[in-house]
A and B are shown apart, each in its own frame.
Chain A
Amino acid sequence: MRKVLLPTIIIVATILLILRLFYLQVIDDTFKLKSDNNAIKIQYDYPERGYIYDRNGKLMVANQPSYDIMVIPRDLKNIDTLEFCHLLNIKKEDYIRIIAKAKVYSPRLPSVFLPQLNKAEFAAFQEKIRKFPGFYIQKRSLRDYQVKFGANVFGFITQASEGTVKKNPYYLSGDLLGKQGVEESYETVLRGIKGVKYIQKDKYNREIGSYKEGKFDTIAVQGEDINLTIDAVLQQYGEELMINKRGGIVAIEPKTGEILALVTAPSYDPSILVGRQRSKNYTMLYRDSIAKPLYDRGLLAEYPPGSPFKILTGLIGLQEGVIDENTAFVCNHGFSYARGRFMKCHCHGGVMQLHRGIYESCNTYFASTYMRTINKFVRPADGVDVWSGHLKSFGLGQFMGYDLPTGRKGKAPTSKTYKRIYPNGGWRSTAIVSNSIGQGEVLMTPIQLANMMAAVANRGFYYTPHIIRKIEGEKIDKKFTTKHVTTVNHKYFEPVVSGLFDVYNKGTAHALQVEGIEICGKTGTAENFAKINGKRVKLQDHSIFVAFAPKDNPKIAIAVFVENGYWGARWAGPIASLMIEKYIRGKITRTDLEKRMLEGSLQGEYAKYTGKKETDSLLLSKPELTKSAAQKPDDAETEN
């Protein structure tokens, strides 16, 4: 037996070795990664972001180079911190804090030490960078805005958040990405694809050539340029008209669903969110919970639509056959729709038919129509659902699928809504009659209002509103060229359109006619309430106006909302008519009106509820911007 011992020990020991090697090499696969981490340095080449043009090819957003100081904590050596901090004009505490944070992210991967140096700062640092091992400079490109408007349309560029870095493997700490606006919705198109270079390192972290002769390296793919549907001139004009007001303007080309202008007020110059001032400015804008400059009112604000909603009430009444053009209701400056319930009306009273009902905006007429629509069905719930179905076909109560990252559904109430409000049932058309005049449970965003007007302008269909016009070398999404037909038949639109036409000729907006342009519009005044110190307070009404023009062959449909703007024809109406004139004519004839609108301010009104804000300095305010725009038509006139 003594002979067997050595061979036995050898075999057992060898099996042990084989098992261990099998475990290391085959079962545990973490070593592969560790060896890559060890020996391969990854260098990125950031492509230039695509440019953004308006619908006419005017360059709105370009790029400028920027330099980030990056740090790899593992490579840090003893450096002269004092000199380093002095050179970059930072405090030593900041230095310690940033390095500590970078170490937490990864001792091996680069973190941004100081972002977005300008050329002068970069040059000063570049000279001395040899003295500071562990730091290097990463060139990136930053946005260079050619225009001072469109902040909400463009969105902005920011460093990828920690959450994004974890979720999306494309982004690394310090990478930039688009947030909000088209920068976010077309991020993948605009950013391109960064290039990667793998570099072999030795244990001293020295680079010793490219890994596997560059077999895995990729070349950066340039970001693609895009054309927006925005008309730069109209967008700028809209933003100027809205200075010192709050609200939104959405203009759509009815034929295509292209968004011509998307204005929110207050707004800011997009260039304040570039460079080292970015985070300070952004925080200020973000914290302003009163004026909410980062809140895109054109897409996000849900308002009760007010009188413009009567257009839909009328159309649905016609479609459901409960009224025709000649159906008449008598208005006694109000409408007693139930015992003890009276809805006031500001029209001139008398016998109302559809045409006059629209241009005089008669509450009685539409309340009666609405009640008939609901009462057509035995159960009011069925009536509401039919009515709600019609609303949905106009884009209400849904995210419409447009290509901007934010939005709200608005509200198109159904029987379920009322079941929730009246859990015991027993509600009838009288309980929900305020829906008829856009003051009930219905809520719409300005873009939904504009889209509704586009559908009316088209007499029964619309295209999903969208902001992309062209992507270099790519087709735009098919959903933007798909026609949505409303459930209200084509033939019912003409009588309503002619009523809207007379809103300008003899109705609530007769003072706002533009010579030679046949505008169809509708004023609106929406009551609104707010909770101030826990009490429900009625605030100044919102001023609303919707319109499209020209009446035949419409080129623009528009919705204007001015918060606390008293009544429709006071602010929203004039602004809408100026926008239409600007878009169709390219110049303004009614310069007095224009001046009044440009210089008019509702700040006094807003200040009633809140004090002055520190962000005011950041927001678009008057001088140079308005002047240049206001002068344009004058110049044109002198030429004539």
Chain B
Amino acid sequence: MKNQSVKSNLDWISVILYILLVLMGWFNIYSSSLSTGEETAIFDLSQFYGKQLMYIALTIPLIIIILSVDGKFYEKFSSIIFGVALLSLAGLFVFGKTVKGQANWYSFGSFGIQPAEFAKAATALALAKYLSDVQVNLKDVNRQIQALGIIFLPVILIIPHDPGSALIYAMFVLVLYREGLPAWYLWTGFIAIILFVLSLVFEPWAVILMAIVVIALVYLRSRLVDRNIVASAIVLVLCSGFVFSVDYIFDNVFKQHHRDRFNILLGKEVDMKGIGYNTNQSEIAIGSGGWLGKGFLEGTQTKGGFVPEQHTDYIFTTVGEEWGFLGCMVVIALFLALIFRIIYLSERQKTKFSRVYGYCVAGVLFIHFFINIAMVAGIFPTIGVPLPFFSYGGSGLWGFTILLFIFLKMDANKVNEW
């Protein structure tokens, strides 16, 4: 009989990758929040690095609790957990505390909690639970709508506070595809993204002209029997409608700061003191790192505090400046290793529930990782998305820790499920 203890079944590769990322994150937070000339203890709770060290320390009991709970608990209680998460998101409208323009905090004395960080794990659990139901077949339109409904419930609650973070939930659609969602959903999404970007760059009529050309080409190149003039016309009408509504929404519904974020990226804005400051400074910080970086605690951009929010969303700029291209590659390699490890473990799962959940974990980690680094490197609009395990903040760290370790617990238990 195999050893049944969690300790021996735990996937230690993932755990080590997790520890490495958390520690590297802390060193960079230390560097970015250390004031020059001040010699303080690393446990100084008035400093970000001191607080973060405390949050890290608190993950240890958290992990022990997660690993100690019976493996069936998460599956059985997923609906309840999801319900609590939705309630806490809804409660923000009433009790939310506004920090930096976003009312997505619950405040408990001096500490605050961001429910959105925990809602990701809850949504992943709910989705896994729903898809693992034997009767659920994603070929069925009703099932498709229900599955998408699980994803959109939290999105609707999050959008008013933090529209950027809502993007994260798009990742769950990819998981649905893995479990049988028809491909045209993805194609539609893909085309919509392309049309969206094009209609920001070009005038609407030019985009529609492009759409006409593409649709005509597809029509002419397909076999005669497949040609369907009505379907093509409908697609064209839909595209045109989308393009015009993007144009309208961008100009009339979006707020100026949303528009600005896109405009910077598209090179339409050059005001580097105002709205372009963040991206400009973060590019300078990363770009000045060169091959090997300026060395730990030697970053002039970091020391000078030129990059706003450097310890949270812009923590990767510290890596770029002080550790250079090489350091960036190491961090990227660690993330890739962890994500692929999780995908590999998911494919190994014997239950659909834990497989879907594992996919959700990999997807959520990846989308945070990609959007965050793309944003600080100036190829994605400014969206307040933290870098998992790296960015400062208790809610974020705990949220990702819970997300990851629930999966590791499921993985450790796979041998004695039934």
List residues of A whose CB falls within 8 A of some B CB.
2-3, 5-7, 9-10, 13-14, 16-18, 20-22, 24-26, 28-32, 34-36, 38-40, 200-203, 208-209, 211-212
* The stretch of B2-10, B263-271, B332-340 that contacts the partner chain: B332-340
The B interface, classified by DSSP as helix, strand, loop or mixed, is helix
Which of the candidate stretches B19-27, B75-83, B281-289 sits at the interface with the other chain?
B281-289
Using known A-B contacts A203-B306, A208-B304, determine if residue A7 contacts B332 with beta carbons closer than 8 Å. no
Chain A residues whose C-beta falls within 8 Å of the C-beta of B374 in the assembled complex: 13, 16-17, 20
B92 within 8 A of A: no
Distance in angstroms from B241 CB to nearest chain A CB is 28
The reply to whether A16 and B379 contact each other, CB–CB distance below 8 Å, is yes
With a CB–CB cut-off of 8 A, which chain B residues contact A200? 36, 300, 303-304
B-chain residues with CB within 8 Å of residue A6 when the two chains form the complex: 174, 178, 343, 359, 362-363, 366
Q: A31-B283, A39-B303 are in contact. Are A25 and B320 (CB under 8 A)?
A: yes
Q: Give the docked Cα–Cα distance between A94 and B66 (Å).
A: 72
Contact residues in B for A10 (Cβ distance below 8 Å): 336, 339-340, 366
Most buried by B among A2, A25, A28, A36: A25
Task: Tell which of B178, B362, B377 touches A21, judged by Cβ atoms closer than 8 Å.
Answer: B377
**A17→B283 CA distance, assembly (Å):** 13
Answer whether residue B37 sits at the interface, using C-beta atoms and an 8 A cutoff: yes
The reply to whether A18 and B300 form a contact with Cβ atoms under 8 Å apart is no
Contacts of B291 in A (CB 8 A): 25-26
* Neighbour of B290 across the interface among A5, A7, A17, A25, CB < 8 A: A25
Evaluate contact between A20 and B306: CB separation under 8 angstroms.
no
Contact B300 A38 (CB under 8 A): yes
> Which residues of the partner chain A approach B339 to less than 8 Å between Cβ atoms?
10
In the complex, which residues of chain A have a beta carbon less than 8 angstroms from the beta carbon of B301?
Answer: 35, 38-39
Interface string of B303-342 (1 = CB under 8 A from A): 1111000000000000011001100110010001001100
Q: Decide if B303 touches A202 in the complex (CB within 8 Å).
A: yes
A21 touches B325 (CB 8 A): yes
Mark B288-299 against chain A: 1 for CB-CB distance below 8 A, else 0.
111100000010
Chain A contacts of B286 at CB under 8 A? 21, 24-25, 31
B379 pairs with A202, CB closer than 8 A:
no
A14 contacts across to B, CB distance below 8 A: 332, 336, 370
B300 A211 Cβ-Cβ under 8 A: yes
Give the distance in Å from the alpha carbon of A18 to the alpha carbon of B320 in the complex.
12
- The reply to whether B336 and A24 contact each other, CB–CB distance below 8 Å, is no
Q: Which of B37, B304, B366 contacts A39 (CB 8 A)?
A: B304
Contacts of A201 in B (CB 8 A): 304
On chain B, the residues within 8 Å of A24 by CB distance are 283, 286-287, 320, 377-378
**CB-nearest residue of chain B relative to A198?**
B300
| Chain A residue nearest in CB terms to B175 | A6
13 A-B pairs besides A31-B284, A32-B288, A35-B300 with CB distance below 8 A are A3-B347, A9-B174, A13-B370, A13-B374, A14-B336, A17-B332, A25-B287, A25-B320, A28-B287, A35-B287, A38-B281, A39-B303, A39-B306
Once the chains bind, are A18 and B332 in contact (CB under 8 Å)? Answer: yes
Instruction: Say whether A20 contacts B377, CB under 8 Å.
Output: yes
Chain A residues whose CB sits within 8 angstroms of the CB of B329 once the complex forms: 18
Residues from chain A with a CB closer than 8 A to the CB of B336 are 10, 14
Is the Cβ of A208 less than 8 Å from the Cβ of B178? Answer: no
Q: Hey, which chain B residues are within 8 Å of A18, CB to CB?
A: 329, 332
The answer to whether B290 and A26 touch across the interface, beta carbons within 8 angstroms, is yes
Assembly CA distance A202 to B307 (angstroms): 10
Q: How far is the CB of A522 from chain B (nearest CB, A)?
A: 71
Tell me the minimal C-beta distance from B168 to chain A in angstroms. Answer: 14
Contacting residues, chain B, for A40 (C-beta < 8 A): 300
Q: Is the CB of A30 within 8 A of B300?
A: no
A243 to B336, CA, bound (A): 88
Point out the residues of chain B lying under 8 angstroms from A7, CB to CB: 340, 343
Q: Can you list 25 A-B contacts with CB-CB less than 8 angstroms, sorted by A residue number?
A: A5-B177, A5-B178, A6-B178, A6-B343, A7-B343, A10-B339, A10-B340, A20-B379, A21-B377, A22-B325, A24-B283, A24-B377, A24-B378, A25-B291, A25-B325, A25-B328, A26-B290, A31-B284, A32-B288, A35-B287, A36-B300, A39-B300, A39-B301, A208-B303, A212-B298
The verdict on B160 contacting chain A, using a C-beta distance below 8 Å, is no
Chain B residues with CB under 8 Å of chain A are: 36-37, 174, 177-180, 186, 281, 283-291, 298, 300-301, 303-306, 320-321, 324-325, 328-329, 332, 336, 339-340, 343, 347, 359, 362-363, 366, 370, 373-374, 377-379
Contact A35-B284, Cβ < 8 Å, known A18-B329, A20-B377: yes
- Count A-B contacts at CB 8 Å: 124
Q: Are A21 and B320 in contact (CB under 8 A)?
A: yes
Minimum C-beta distance from A355 to chain B (A):
82
| Contact A38 B306, beta carbon cutoff 8 Å | yes
User: Bound complex: CA of A209 vs CA of B34, how far in Å?
Assistant: 14
Which A residues lie within 8 Å of B320 (CB)? 21, 24-25
B328 touches A21 (CB 8 A): yes
Determine the distance from Cα of A14 to Cα of B339 in the docked complex, in whole angstroms.
12
Give chain B nearest CB distance to A108 CB in angstroms. Answer: 12
Q: Which of B284, B304, B359 contacts A202 (CB 8 A)?
A: B304
Contact between A38 and B304 (Cβ–Cβ < 8 Å)? Answer: yes
In the complex formed, the residue of A with least CB distance to B336 is: A14
Of all A-B residue pairs in the complex, the 10 with the closest CB atoms, nearest first, are A31-B287, A35-B288, A39-B300, A39-B304, A24-B287, A25-B325, A202-B304, A31-B288, A208-B36, A32-B288
Name B292's closest neighbour in chain A (CB-CB): A25
Q: List chain A residues, Cβ under 8 A from B379.
A: 16, 20
- Indicate if the CB atoms of B290 and A2 lie closer than 8 Å: no
**Which of chain B's residues has its CB closest to A30's CB?**
B287
Task: Give B292 Cβ to nearest chain A Cβ, in Å.
Answer: 10
Give every chain A residue within 8 A of B366 (Cβ-Cβ): 6, 9-10, 13
Cα–Cα distance between A202 and B328 once the two chains are bound (Å): 24
A202 partner residues in chain B, CB cutoff 8 A = 303-306
In this complex, what residue of A is CB-closest to B365?
Answer: A10
Q: How far is the CB of A75 from chain B (nearest CB, A)?
A: 14
Residues of A within 8 A of B288 (CB): 31-32, 34-36
Q: Is the CB of A203 within 8 A of B287?
A: no
B194 to chain A, nearest CB (A): 15
Instruction: For the complex formed, measure the closest distance between the CB of A31 and the CB atoms of chain B, giving whole angstroms.
Output: 3
CB distance from A578 to the nearest CB of B (A): 67
Complex Cα gap A212–B297 (Å):
10
- A16, A28, A203, most chain B CB atoms within 10 A: A203
In Å, the complex CA distance between A31 and B363 comes to: 33
Q: Residues of B contacting A32 with CB < 8 Å?
A: 287-288, 290
CA A342 – CA B81 in complex, angstroms? 126
Q: How far is the CA of A202 from the CA of B289 in the complex (A)?
A: 18
- Would you give the shortest CB distance from A50 to chain B, in whole angstroms? 36
A25 / chain B contacts, CB cutoff of 8 Å: 286-287, 289-291, 320, 324-325, 328
Query: Which residue of the partner chain, among B178, B283, B328, contacts A2 with CB atoms under 8 Å?
Result: B178
Bound CA–CA A582/B119 (angstroms): 102
In the complex the two chains form, what is the Cα distance from A13 to B362 in whole Å? 14
Q: Closest A-chain residue to B179, C-beta based?
A: A2
- State the Cβ distance, B252 to closest chain A Cβ, in Å: 32
Residue of B nearest to A205 (CB): B304
